[in-house]
């Protein structure tokens, strides 16, 4: 028993040490360089700054290009919220229908859902479609793109979780006179809180941190999202590393807060339904 405890303690120490090296050292590197002046940060080391420039650096980041970072925060937050609302409602209903019904269309529809995880999006045809329906360079267009890219994963999670909800609840609601829509939103949807938390947090982090899709489908300075603001402080010949790292810290705070508060709910939502699903 003592030998097993010693071995277990050894591997726990190794795991903690690896997590520190892999995650905390780079995070410390970014934080400490965001406190330096332009000259010291260009050395890209982890030395303690000779003088701290915390307020100056972060103030300059927030006021650069007429407050583009603040505007980008608003755009990213709006895109994330709208995409999550559409994603949760559509995928919850889709997962419910796919789990409850079994007919000749179930197989092809399930195949299409899985194909959405494997087939990469086509950039040029998507731009052509958005432009033809006058949604290119609009918030609505990028919301539809982000929603479409997250539908497959979210629907699979909802379908697996739906298997843990007894069918007797549906039958009792129908006997009491509930229609299909009212039954879903009043009886089924409140039971989906664990998987809702998982979908909301994972999808929100992915959409908020998305760099490629806003770059292609939402160009323009007025439409800048938070990830695209990293371009503000980089150039081919001279990069303001202290401002770039300060911007990275500001960008990282919302997803970090989400993971801290919803970590347990994420795991519960992903594991629920794993046996029955």
- Count of domains observed in the chain: 1
**Residue 172, domain member (yes or no):** yes
**Residue 119, domain member (yes or no):** yes
**222-238: pLDDT as tens digits:** 888 998 888 878 875 67
Across the chain, what does the average pLDDT equal?
A: 86
Give the residue carrying structure tokens 């990282």. Answer: 252
Averaged over 182-201, what is the pLDDT? 88
- CA 94/CA 160 separation, integer angstroms: 12
pLDDT at residue 27 is higher than 50: yes
**Residue 17, domain member (yes or no):** no
The pTM of this model reads 0.85
Averaged over 7-28, what is the pLDDT? 84
Q: Residue 49 has what pLDDT? A: 92
- CA 154/CA 31 separation, integer angstroms: 34
User: Residue 179 class from Cβ within 10 Å (0-12 exposed, 13-18 middle, 19+ buried)?
Assistant: exposed
Q: How confident is the model at residue 276 (pLDDT cuts 50, 70, 90)?
A: very low
Percent share of the chain, pLDDT over 70: 93
Q: Residue 277 has what pLDDT? A: 44
**Residue 26, domain member (yes or no):** no
How many C-beta atoms surround the C-beta of residue 139 within 10 A?
14
How many C-beta atoms surround the C-beta of residue 3 within 10 A?
7
DSSP string, 35-94: TS-HHHHTT---PPPSS--HHHHHHHHHHHHHHHHHHHHHHHHHHHHHHHHHHHHHHHHH
* Burial call 11-26: b when 16+ CB within 10 Å, e when fewer: eeeeeeeeeeeeeeee
Question: 87 vs 10, 188, 200, CA distance in Å?
Answer: 44, 17, 9
Task: Show the domain range for 111.
Answer: 66-271
Q: How confident is the model at residue 137 (pLDDT cuts 50, 70, 90)?
A: very high
pLDDT at residue 202 is higher than 60: yes
**Residue 199, domain member (yes or no):** yes
Q: Residue 13 has what pLDDT? A: 85
Q: How confident is the model at residue 186 (pLDDT cuts 50, 70, 90)?
A: confident
Q: How confident is the model at residue 201 (pLDDT cuts 50, 70, 90)?
A: confident
CATH number at residue 161: 1.10.3720.10
SS3 234: coil
DSSP percent split of the chain into helix, strand, coil, nearest 5: 80, 0, 20
**206-262: pLDDT as tens digits:** 999 999 999 999 988 888 899 888 887 887 567 889 999 999 999 988 888 877 777
Averaged over 68-81, what is the pLDDT? 93
SS3 139: helix
Q: Which has the minimum average pLDDT: 184-188, 195-199, 263-267?
A: 263-267
pLDDT at residue 275 is higher than 60: no
pLDDT at residue 266 is higher than 70: no
**Residue 83, domain member (yes or no):** yes
pLDDT at residue 89 is higher than 80: yes
**Residue 198, domain member (yes or no):** yes
Across the chain, which distance is largest between two alpha carbons, in Å? Answer: 74
Q: How confident is the model at residue 267 (pLDDT cuts 50, 70, 90)?
A: low
* Burial call 190-225: b when 16+ CB within 10 Å, e when fewer: eebebbbbbbbbbbbbbbbbbeebbebbbeeeebbb
**Residue 120, domain member (yes or no):** yes
């Amino acid at each position: 028993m003592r030998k097993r405890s010693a071995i277990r303690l050894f591997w726990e120490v190794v795991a903690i040490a690896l997590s520190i090296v892999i995650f905390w050292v780079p995070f410390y590197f970014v934080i400490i360089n965001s406190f330096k002046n332009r000259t010291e940060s260009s050395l890209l080391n982890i030395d303690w700054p000779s003088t701290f420039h915390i307020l100056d650096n972060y103030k300059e980041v927030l006021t650069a290009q007429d407050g583009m970072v603040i505007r980008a925060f608003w755009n990213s937050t709006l895109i994330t919220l709208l995409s999550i609302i559409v994603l949760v409602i559509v995928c919850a209903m889709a997962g419910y229908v796919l789990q409850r019904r079994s007919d000749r269309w179930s197989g092809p529809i399930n195949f299409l859902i899985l194909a959405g995880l494997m087939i990469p999006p086509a950039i040029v045809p998507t731009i052509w479609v958005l432009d033809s329906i006058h949604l290119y360079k609009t918030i609505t267009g990028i919301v539809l793109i982000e929603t479409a890219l997250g539908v497959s994963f979210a629907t699979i999670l909802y379908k697996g979780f739906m298997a843990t909800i007894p069918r007797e609840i549906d039958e009792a609601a129908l006997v009491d006179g509930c229609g299909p829509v009212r039954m879903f939103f009043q009886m089924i949807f409140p039971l989906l809180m664990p998987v809702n938390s998982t979908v909301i947090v994972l999808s929100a982090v992915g959409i908020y941190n998305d760099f490629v899709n806003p770059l292609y489908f939402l160009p323009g300075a007025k439409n800048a999202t938070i990830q695209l603001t990293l371009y503000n402080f980089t150039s081919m010949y001279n990069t303001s590393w202290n401002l770039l790292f300060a911007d990275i810290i500001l960008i990282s705070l919302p997803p970090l807060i989400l993971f801290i508060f919803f970590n347990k709910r994420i795991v519960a939502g992903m594991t629920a339904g794993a046996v029955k699903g």
